Structure 1
Amino acid sequence: MGNTFLNLALLIIFHFSMPTFSMKLTTILTDQSALLALKDHVIHDPENVLTTNWSASAPVCNWFGVSCGSKHRRVTALNLTGLGLVGTLPPHLGNLSFLSLLYVRNNSFYGGLPVQLSNLRRLKYLNFGNNSFSGEIPSWLGSLTELRRLFLGQNNFKGVIPFSLGYLSKLEFLYLFGNQISGSIPSTIFNISSLQEIYLSYNMLSGSIPSVPRDLLLLEVIDFTSNNLTGHIPKDMFDHLPNLKGLYWSLNLLSGRIPASLFKCKELQMLSLSYNQMEGSLPIEIGNLSMLQYIYIGRNHFEGEIPKQIVNLTLLMAFDCSHSNFTGIIPQEIGNLKNLNWLNLAFNNIAGSIPPQVFNISTLRTISLDTNQLSGHLPSNMGLFLPNMEQLYLDFNHLAGSIPMLEGEIPEGGSFGNYSIESSKGNEALCGAARLHVPNCKTRPLRNSKAKTKLILYVALPIASTILVVALIIIILQNKRRKDKLPTQEDMIPLGTWRRFSYHELRQATDGFNDSRLLGNGSYGSVFQGTLPDGTIIAVKVFKLELETAFKSFDVECDVLRNTRHRNLVKVISSCSNDINFKALVLEFMPNGSLDKWLYSNKQYLDILQRLNIMIDVASALEYLHHGNATPVVHCDLKTNNILLDEDMVAHLSDFGIAKLLCEEASMIQTMTMATFGYMAPEYGMEGIVSTKGDVYSFGILLMEIITRKKPTDEMFAGERSLKSWVIESISSSLNQVVDPKLLSTIGREYLKVKNCALSILQVGLECCVELPNERLHMKEIVTKLKKIKVTLLRDMERVR
């Protein structure tokens, strides 16, 4: 109690001892002078907005980003969001005494926040998010008592959360996520009765969660994801939060039971407690939360049975209680959850049979029941009741019989590398490679079972003729389309000087496609180095036409590359498809090979600046693909092998064989094409959902790989451990354990600069890899973040010198 009064007294003394510019006589000329000072402190203005628009010869109220009040004609709002500005904030901004809104989000401002900003007593909306501000969060923010919204997320703030923020009695939104804030959460924050959302995720906060007072009725979202919070959740935490909709507390060290008070939050839609150390049972009162749509409580120590009352959660779309100690049986009531599309009960001790009611959920796309004690047989007709099923995990149980009604091609490699004939018994419609002892995919075996014969007689035959006619029409149209889409001199990418190549020329250039000329092998083709008669070196990608999908891959690459042009995309010189037996693309040769080769070579080395430049190059390419075309392009297979380096070490994104084009009406599509394991976004791997946010996730994994020099498929990542979880574990403890030792081989102050830069990049990577796609960054934001990290690195390196 004594400390509280002391802190309050210090705040009052501080408040009245501050220089008060607003007491001086100020005019619109004062505002003009303050804004021109800001212009002088901006060292880089890529859009030339301030350079060309902010001039003393024009009225201040007409300047870009500036708004004035109608009564006093003074500057009331300054919004410079997303201009890519680099610089610092001058103390003169404290003279904008009528300012109520100050937004400089999505820029590259750095340095500390000038204390003179405490004079902005009319300020209601402050957004400094996604910049490079550093230092501690200033305690004088507590004197801006009119503040409604405070956004300081995605910066480099350190230190603790000042207790004085608790005196912002009108504050509604507090965003401090994505910084390096440590210490405990001050209880004073929860004294703000107007608070609606609080985001403190992705910091280094520790200690326990403070209790919530009785009058905090408006709070809707509490996000403490990815910190080091410990202890039990207070029993009365949720007694007076009737409006709570989102609880994001995953990736902490919380223990104890779920408090009963949580089940009073009847508006709760998202419950995320995964990756903690919580225990006890899942109370039957869970059924009271009828608005719940997502439950993520996996990776804890929960036990007991899954309550039948879950049937009341009719809006539930995802239920994950995996990697815990749940026992008992799967309640048949789950079958009544008609909106469920993801059910994950894996790695528990659940026994009994799988209730047939589960297979009545037509919306299910993913069922993970592996590593339990399940027994019994699966229903022979379950495939008829799960039309949207894409992922089914049943391994490591005691199930009998075979999995019925599987069909299609068995993939090669990856998880299917050890696939055997035993795995396909009872599934006559499967096809694949000869080594698997299943039919070739170009033929269809007869089905012998009586049940299947009846199905053919009574269901298939009445519509067979219709299907046959439609299929023939589709085949004819596809063949015509394939011929029409073969690139010609007129419609191929307008890059470089066009020329045609024959099969004979390419064969001669590559010494008969000799293995000594082989640059690399991919899923759909091989790339050879070639030399033309005039000495020009080229790369020739020859498609493996023995694979039916290679035809589609060739068409996709042509589609994508015909309509795209960017300095960080591999340039296509021409193509060759003289006949149906040979198809190739002639590409610009990249003398420095792939990023994979450089990253994992013992003879070659990339320093922190080279790695950062490569990241910016790739991010720029993705930004162009996602936002620079009328039809957005999703690459779908981002990895180090698909990033090539030219003679100047500029990165170029390549291999668009499984890329997807999104029509204007759709921000996402679904596919059965699988990308590379380890880089895939969860919604891609589980549901086949393709969107630009999937590329963002893969890019986040790529950032972590480049900094750690660890592949996401490294043998150290097994079971529950992944590259992402390893980075999360290490980033808050000892960064030395996760960063590539080669990067930290410097000494003195340069070592600290490299370490800080690596930490900033890893934080961006984690922001790209959040579980929910809508919470991931856009590529435009990522480019801005990486560029500001580069500006900071160069500035710091210059100081070291």
Structure 2
Amino acid sequence: MAIQEQKDRPKGISLLTHILFILHLLIVCFFIEPVSSDQGWDGVVVIAADFQALQAFKQELIDSKGFLKSWNDSGYGACSGGWVGIKCAKGQVIVIQLPWKGFGGRITEKIGQLQALRKLSLHDNLIQGSIPRALGILPDLRGVQLFNNRLSGSIPATLGSSLFLQTLDLSNNSLTGVIPESLANSTKLYRLNLSFNSFSGSVPISFTRSSSLIFLDLQYNNLSGPIPDSWGHQKLSRLRNLDLSYNAINGSLPVSLSNLSSLVVLNLESNGLEDQIPESIVNLHNLSVLVLKRNKLRGPIPASVGNISSLTKLDLSENKFIGEIPFSLANLKGLNSFNVSYNNLSGPVPAPLSQKFNGSSFVGNIELCGYSRSPPCPSPAPLQNLPSSPSAKPRHKNKKLSTKDIILIAAGALLIILLVLCLILLCCLIRRRDASKEKDGRTTTRAASASAAAARVEKGTPPSAGEVEAGGETGGKLVHFDGPMVFAADDLLCATAEIMGKSTYGTVYKATLEDGNQVAVKRLREKITKGQKEFESEVNLLGRVRHPNLLALRAYYLGPKGEKLLVFDYMPKGSLATFLHARGPETPVDWLTRMRIAKGVTRGLVYLHTQENIIHGNLTSSNVLLDEDTNAKIADFGLSRLMTAAANANVIATAGALGYRAPELSKLKKANTKTDAYSLGVIILELLTGKSPGEAMNGVDLPQWVASIVKEEWTNEVFDLELMRDASSIGDELLNTLKLGLHCVDPSPSARPEFQQVLQQLEEIRPDTPASSVPSGDDGAGVPSTSE
């Protein structure tokens, strides 16, 4: 009996195995259509429910550019990399990643069938309709990136059921309604961006109790009511970035905000906040950016703000603050942006602040004094005007001067008067003698230069290239290159000068000539330039370099005591750095202008490298100047040829501090085309982000910061907000330019593109219009940069 059972057992197991195998084949054949004979089966099968959901997803979208052609009707390749934007695990879709594809249409509700979906990334498309309620029933959903679309309707409250949700970015859409309290249900949610929509109601109180939120951005909505006063009560808050700007929030600043000990950025600009800043704000010891601009805050500015040593930006402008500016604010060593304009402040501005920031930081406070463009502060009352004590009065009345004292005082006064008269007489004699010498000298020395200049003016011809003029009364030599300016050495040396800036190479002045024309003069530091013979040889070569995107050298002057002056056209529009970073919100810079600047800089560098064999070596946005039509002109090219090796090493180190130096320069110590490519890449990223490479960005430089943001798929955080408003029309151009900029700043020099390739790609990204392809003029007119 036992033997018989042992014999029968293998038969039963074998029969069961065959039945299961046949059932498996039937299931596969039922749900998956057969693949054509010319395709090899990849061995990975998408489950039926997910295949149906993907088909519905495709049907609801408008794919005008054909990105979803690979999504065939058989399901072949869906889970083995054959379908663009799809990733699977064990036959189930876990990622849909299709940003920047130009999709229209809407998102299907059948997306709820993708029960293993973890990430949905459809940002920077043209998708309309509402957010599917079915997203809330996906148990493993971790990230949703739908920013920069045209979504409407409200946020489904069901999204709060996704307990593993970590990032939710719905910014820059047309969403309305109230923000659901349930969104904070997820204990994993650390990044929530709902900015640039039309949400109404108040800030959900549940957000204040979240122990996971790190980034909360609700700016540019229609939120109202007070800010909840229950932040961080559990002392578990990790919140680092809180932005509620450009809403209609009222009430006072909650004291509980001071519980957010990890907070780095607090932006409450353009709301209706009232009352005073709480003294407890000093507890925000990690705060770097505090913006309370354009509210109705009043009272004095708390001196305790000056104890937040990490502050780099403080904007309290356009409020109703009173009293004096606390001197403690002057102790904030890292403060690089400060604004208290348009309040009711009074008294003197602390000297360190007035020296560090210009008048625009303080204007609009009628009783404030002690800063540029303000009336001087009244001096303290002299001691003799102060009331004396009662006990002192009798002594003053009884004390009388003796006759001897009166005689001595009179004699001393008379002696002083005689000395003053003697000095005046002596000065007059010296001046008369100098005037007679000047008259005799000018009769001879100025006659030739004045007549030559007058002849050129009458004929309408500027000085020819390399034309040498005598150095006037002081000696020296002035050499003109081609250009529209006509002046003699004496005119240059006697011009009214105003310092524009200082740099490693020297000092830049704005000089107003006797005829009213203005030029820019760079006075080179004498100890860092080469000897006169070698200097003249190199500077004469630089004076002949001409290109529409290069700043032209117009003339140079060699003084009898070793002075060396370089003369350029003056242009008040200034540098790209000033143009991007020192403007107000009322002067936006559009994408067309930024792209034109990027192309201009690239064209100038192509010419320098290929036609003149010149490496710039110190390219920064301060060395890119802009003409009246905002065309780029590169300055300071070739100046390294005029300097000693030690001076050039110092310039390279300075460029590194500003964030433009290629990493390999710390070892090479000599620039080349690849290091120039890196600097160009930084400028491209600067144009895209609107951020200065010198800004502190969590301890990393601008290229590293951009790369980290792109890696996390928070691409909209990279671009300047001004550009994101037109993302629907220029999205592809922004993305392609971003890729090019990152290519230029590749850590490996050999991986960086050649300049001709960079120019070609920029022209392909946005072809030139006839009016903007080439700047007007045949040379580079500008103002020398003021920083190396």
If the length of structure 2 is used for normalisation, what is the TM-score?
0.51
Work out the CA distance in 2 between the residues paired with 1:571 and 1:17: 72
Please tell me whether residue 205 in structure 1 is matched to residue 151 in structure 2: yes
Shift of 1:663: 6.1
Asked whether 1:188 is paired with 2:134, we answer yes
Q: Give the one of 237, 241, 244 matched to 2:183.
A: 237
For the structure 1 residues 294 and 613, does the alpha-carbon distance in structure 2 shift closer, same or farther, using more than 3 Å as the test? closer
- Work out whether residues 302 and 326 of structure 2, in 8 Å CA contact, stay in contact via their aligned partners in 1: no
Q: Tell whether the 8 Å contact from 1:619 to 1:783 is kept in structure 2 after alignment.
A: no
Instruction: From 299, 321, 339, give the equivalent of 2:246.
Output: 299
Cα-to-partner distance string for 1:390-443 (whole Å, 9 max, x where unaligned): 22222222323222123676888x949989998643x6xx7xxxx88889xxxx
In structure 1, the residue matched to 2:521 is: 544
Equivalent residue, structure 1, for 2:223 = 278
Offset at residue 259 of structure 1 (A): 1.8
Aligned pairs for 1:354-433 within 5 A: 354-383=301-330, 385-406=331-352, 415=360, 424-425=369-370
Match in the other structure for 2:93: 147
Distance verdict in 2 for CA 1:272–1:395, change over 3 Å: same
Alignment of 1:316-331 (within 5 A): 316-331=263-278
Query: Residue 574 of structure 1: CA displacement?
Result: 10
Q: Cα offset for 1:243?
A: 0.7
**Residues 428-467 of structure 1 aligned to structure 2 (within 5 Å):** none
Alignment partners' CA distance in 1, 2:758 and 2:157 = 36
Closer/same/farther in 2, CA of residues 639 and 232 from structure 1, 3 Å limit: farther
2:221 partner amino acid? N
Q: What residue number does 1:66 align with?
A: none
Q: Hey, what's the Cα distance between the residues in 2 that align with 1:122 and 1:620?
A: 42
In structure 2, C-alpha distance between the alignment counterparts of 1:680 and 1:175, rounded to whole Å = 22
Measured after TM superposition, the shift of residue 267 of structure 1 is 1.2
Q: Is the 8 A contact 2:346 2:368 kept in 1?
A: no
Q: 1:256 to 1:415 in 2, by over 3 A?
A: same
What is the alpha-carbon distance in structure 2 between the residues aligned to residue 231 and residue 312 of structure 1?
A: 29
Q: In 2, distance between residues paired with 1:436 and 1:501?
A: 46
Distance 1:144 1:568 in 2: 60
Displacement of 1:505 after TM fit? 3.7
Partner Cα distance (2:29, 2:759) in 1: 42
Residue 468 of structure 1 corresponds to: none
Encode CA deviations 1:500-535: one digit per residue, 9 max, x unaligned.
886644167545259xxxxxx99657899xxxxxxx
Aligned ranges 1:314-713 → 2 under 5 Å: 314-383=261-330, 385-406=331-352, 415=360, 424-425=369-370, 504-506=478-480, 510=484, 512-513=486-487, 543-545=520-522, 570=550, 576=556, 578-579=558-559, 582-584=564-566, 614=596, 617-618=599-600, 633-636=619-622, 641=627, 653-655=633-635, 667=659, 684=692
Larger Rg belongs to: 2
Select 1:113's aligned residue among 68, 83, 88. Answer: 68
Q: Distance in 2 between matches of 1:682 and 1:272?
A: 19
Is the CA contact 2:187–2:212 (under 8 Å) kept in the aligned structure 1?
yes
The superposition leaves residues 93-121 of structure 1 with CA deviations (integer Å, 9 ceiling, x where unpaired) of xxxxxxxxxxxxxxxx9544215446345
Separation in structure 2 between the aligned mates of residue 679 and residue 158 of structure 1, nearest angstrom: 29
Offset of residue 233 of structure 1: 1.0
Structure 1, residues 19-59: CA drift from partner, whole Å, max 9, x if none?
A: 9464646449xxxxxxxxxxxxxxxxxxxxxxxxxxxxxxx
Q: More relative contact order in 1 or in 2 (CA 8 Å, sep 6+)?
A: 2
Distance 1:611 1:322, change over 3 A: closer
Cα gap change, 1:127 to 1:404, in 2 (>3 Å): farther
Instruction: Specify which of 171, 174, 196 is matched with residue 120 of structure 2.
Output: 174
Is 2:705 aligned against 1:760? no
Contact 1:256 1:277 in 2 (8 A): yes
| Two-structure CA RMSD over aligned residues (Å) | 6.2
Change (3 A) 1:339 1:410: closer
- Alignment partner of 1:198: what SS? strand
Q: For the Cα contact (< 8 Å) 1:127–1:152, is it kept in 2?
A: no
Separation in structure 2 between the aligned mates of residue 612 and residue 218 of structure 1, nearest angstrom: 41
Q: Distance in 2 between matches of 1:330 and 1:639?
A: 42
In the TM superposition, what is the alpha-carbon distance from 1:163 to its structure 2 partner?
3.1
Deviation of 1:349 (Å): 1.7
CA distance in 2, matches of 1:185, 1:683: 33
The one-letter code sitting in structure 1 at the alignment partner of 2:158 is: V
Letter in 1 for 2:177: G
Q: 2:479·2:555 contact (CA, 8 Å) conserved in 1?
A: no
Q: What one-letter code is carried by the residue in structure 2 that aligns with 1:583? A: L
* Counterpart residue number, 1:751: none
Alignment of 1:702-781 (within 5 A): 760-761=729-730, 764=733
**Per-residue deviation at 1:350?**
1.6
Tell me the amino acid that sits aligned with residue 343 of structure 1. L
Percent identical pairs in the alignment equals 21
Q: What are the superposed Cα offsets for residues 468-503 of structure 1, whole Å, 9 maximum, x if unpaired?
A: xxxxxxxxxxxxxxxxxxxxxxxxxxxxxxx98866
DSSP 3-state at the match of 2:158: coil
Residue-pair matches, total: 511
Is residue 625–residue 633 contact of structure 2 (8 Å, CA) maintained in 1? no
What is the aligned partner in structure 2 of residue 157 from structure 1? 103
- Alpha-carbon contact 1:302-1:325 (below 8 Å) kept: yes
**Partner Cα distance (1:175, 1:26) in 2:** 30
Q: 1:501 to 1:197 in 2, by over 3 A?
A: farther
DSSP 3-state at the match of 1:286: coil
C-alpha contact (below 8 Å) 1:500/1:574 kept by paired residues: no
1:125-144 per-position Cα deviation (integer Å, ceiling 9, x unaligned): 68968xxxxxxxxxx99999
Deviation at 1:278, TM superposition (A): 0.3
What residue identity is the alignment partner of 1:544? Answer: V
Conserved? CA contact 1:618–1:652, under 8 Å: yes
TM-score (norm 1): 0.50
2:733–2:765 Cα contact (<8 Å) kept: no
Distance 2:83 2:203 in 1: 35
Say whether the 8 Å CA contact 2:693–2:702 is kept in structure 1: no
How far did residue 179 of structure 1 move?
A: 1.7
Matched residues in 1 for 2:191 and 2:558: separation? 58
SS in structure 2 of the partner of residue 180 of structure 1 = coil
Gaps of 5+ in 1: 1-14, 29-68, 75-108, 130-139, 440-445, 451-498, 515-520, 529-540, 588-593, 595-607, 645-650, 670-674, 697-722, 733-758, 794-801
Alpha-carbon distance in 2 for matches of 1:415, 1:547: 31
Question: Which of 171, 182, 196 does residue 251 from structure 1 map onto?
Answer: 196
In 1, the alpha carbon distance for the partners of 2:110 and 2:219 equals 32
Instruction: Indicate if the aligned counterparts of 2:243 and 2:266 stay in contact, CA closer than 8 A.
Output: yes
Change (3 A) 1:317 1:547: farther
1:36 counterpart residue number: none
Q: Answer yes or no: is 1:290 the counterpart of 2:237.
A: yes
8 Å contact kept, 1:169–1:192: yes
Shift in Å, 1:570:
2.9
- Deviation of 1:205 (Å): 1.4
